[in-house]
Amino acid sequence: MINRVVLIGRLTRDPELRTTGSGISVATFTLAVDRQYTNAQGERGADFIQCVIWRKAAENFCQYTNKGSLVGIEGRIQTRNYDNKDGQRVYVTEVVVDNFSFLESRRDRENRSGNTGFNPGGSSQNGGFQPNNGGMPSGNNSGANNAGGQQAPDPFAGSGDTIDISDDDLPF
């Protein structure tokens, strides 16, 4: 049987880091993941998915992310239940994170936090999830786009040299 989850989204708030009684670090956070379709008003909805990450990975995740950070996670869905203080049975479904990736540069993250902040609509200038491009974050993955949405300067501009590529140089 297979239980694998891969998500790309933005944190809805700063991750919450705690330590268990036995000294193990655990962090919880909610990931806002844009839906692929829009409603009648043209607005894109989002799913808010509860996630948990353990041990050193939890500490690293909390150190380098904050509200609005664009991250990719890989893990598994877990369900559990417990009785709350009122004696009611509570059911929890969450993603247990095995791996994560930061999907924006530190500069983009700092620019975003200095601007308007978190945009739960997702189609922001800083790489909101765009399902039409195969599930990859929007923008140029090579880092050519900056937070202002303008193209980075061409590193070969003004060199006067032309780049000559023959068909033999191409891998396909």
**Averaged pLDDT for residues 143-157:** 54
Read off the pLDDT band of 158 (50, 70, 90).
low
- We report the CATH number of the domain holding residue 111 as 2.40.50.140
**Which of the two residues, 66 and 141, has the higher pLDDT score?**
66
Read off the pLDDT band of 56 (50, 70, 90).
very high
Instruction: Render pLDDT for 75-89 as a digit per residue (tens, 0 to 9).
Output: 999 999 999 999 999
Q: What is the maximum alpha-carbon separation in the chain?
A: 76
**Which of the two residues, 93 and 147, has the higher pLDDT score?**
93
**Residue numbers of the domain that contains 155:** 5-169
Specify the pairing of strand 25-38 against strand 44-54. antiparallel
Q: Output the pLDDT for position 77.
A: 96
Angle (CA) 29 116 148, round 5°: 110
Query: Is pLDDT of 29 > 60?
Result: yes
Instruction: Render pLDDT for 89-144 as a digit per residue (tens, 0 to 9).
Output: 999 999 999 999 999 877 777 777 665 444 444 433 334 433 333 343 333 344 44
Read off the pLDDT band of 51 (50, 70, 90).
very high
Number of domains in the chain: 1
Of the candidates 107, 110, 75, 108, the one whose C-alpha atom is nearest the C-alpha of residue 93 is 75
Phi-psi category of residue 106: left, alpha or beta, with phi > 0 → left and psi -120 to 50 → alpha: alpha
Cβ atoms of 26 and 18 closer than 8 Å: yes
Amino acid found at 113: S
